[in-house]
Amino acid sequence: AQSVTQLDSQVPVFEEAPVELRCNYSSSVSVYLFWYVQYPNQGLQLLLKYLSGSTLVKGINGFEAEFNKSQTSFHLRKPSVHISDTAEYFCAAQNRGTSYGKLTFGQGTILTVHP
Amino acid sequence: DTEVTQTPKHLVMGMTNKKSLKCEQHMGHRAMYWYKQKAKKPPELMFVYSYEKLSINESVPSRFSPECPNSSLLNLHLHALQPEDSALYLCASGDPGLAVVEQFFGPGTRLTVL
């Protein structure tokens, strides 16, 4: 069975500091990996995705993530956060070859950026 | 147009009411999804339509009834709901013909059942 674990439920950080949101996955088959952001009372917006190739993936809003197959991790990073990055972040996995692109989500990490 | 739209944004209904949620996309996607999201939880998949046919029903109670009138529209009909059904209902769309199916989400409908 596939599972996604986000290791921190809440991450407080000061503005302009770096941040890392951690995600580990478990799957018996190869997966595609995604990070989504959800601002309060809004839908999910795709930040970035790993499909294949380079293990360092760059996304929108200055975020990047590194796929590590040996550690089955896909951690999200930003070198300098802004107040506007305050939101909930979801890591998700999709089995390669799955029907209909079913996503398995982690439990989410609430990032709070303080001035 | 890379947007998924949902109406209404907010809905308050009693347990005996019948209401519908609507979702629309014009990206030519042939898969559409309904998710339920409770506060501080990830979205939970409810239904998937692929090429206008119901392909996945994640054991959702029959008080939720999905409908896909055409490839651009997805409805969720609600009847005799319970207070615990209060949640954010998200619609998404994607292209099932691709190796990786990226899902595009709408802004959601915030449902409150009294």
For residue range A45-72, list pLDDT tens digits in order. 999 999 988 999 999 999 999 999 999 9
Return the residue in B33, B100, B101 with the most chain A beta carbons within 10 A, the one to mutate for interface testing. B100
Which pair of tokens denotes residue B2? 């890379």
The distance of A17 to chain B (nearest Cα, Å) reads 25
Q: Return the pLDDT at A96.
A: 83
* Interface membership of B45 toward A (CB under 8 Å): yes
For residue range B65-74, list pLDDT tens digits in order. 999 999 999 9
The distance of B106 to chain A (nearest Cα, Å) reads 5
Question: d(Cα B86, Cα B65) in Å, to the nearest integer?
Answer: 16
Residue-by-residue DSSP string for B46-96: EEEEETTEEEEE-S--TTEEEEEEETTEEEEEEES--GGG-EEEEEEEE-T
CB count, 10 Å around CB of A100?
A: 19
Question: d(Cα A43, Cα B107) in Å, to the nearest integer?
Answer: 4
Q: Return the pLDDT at B4.
A: 95
Instruction: Select from B41, B94, B105 the Cβ nearest to the Cβ of A44.
Output: B105
DSSP code, position A71? T
For residue range B72-100, list pLDDT tens digits in order. 999 999 999 999 999 999 999 998 877 77
For residue range A15-51, list pLDDT tens digits in order. 999 999 999 999 888 889 999 999 988 899 999 999 9
Pairing between β-strand A10-14 and β-strand A109-114 as defined by DSSP bridges: parallel
Question: d(Cα B60, Cα B85) in Å, to the nearest integer?
Answer: 11
What residues of B are in contact with residue A106 (Cβ under 8 Å)?
42
* For residue B102, pLDDT beyond 80: yes
DSSP code, position A61? G
Contact yes or no for B108 and A101 at CB 8 A: no
The distance of A42 to chain B (nearest Cα, Å) reads 5
* For residue A99, pLDDT beyond 90: no
What residues of A are in contact with residue B43 (Cβ under 8 Å)?
44, 90, 105
The distance of A6 to chain B (nearest Cα, Å) reads 11
Question: d(Cα B103, Cα A102) in Å, to the nearest integer?
Answer: 9
Q: By C-alpha distance, which of A2, A95, A109 is closest to A47?
A: A109
For residue range B49-70, list pLDDT tens digits in order. 999 999 999 999 999 999 999 9
Q: What percent of chain B has pLDDT over 90?
A: 85
Sign of the alpha-carbon torsion through B86, B42, B6, B10: positive
Question: d(Cα B62, Cα A97) in Å, to the nearest integer?
Answer: 30
Q: Return the pLDDT at B58.
A: 93
Contact yes or no for B56 and A103 at CB 8 A: no
What residues of B are in contact with residue A34 (Cβ under 8 Å)?
102
What residues of B are in contact with residue A107 (Cβ under 8 Å)?
41-42
Q: Return the pLDDT at B2.
A: 65
Q: Return the pLDDT at B5.
A: 96
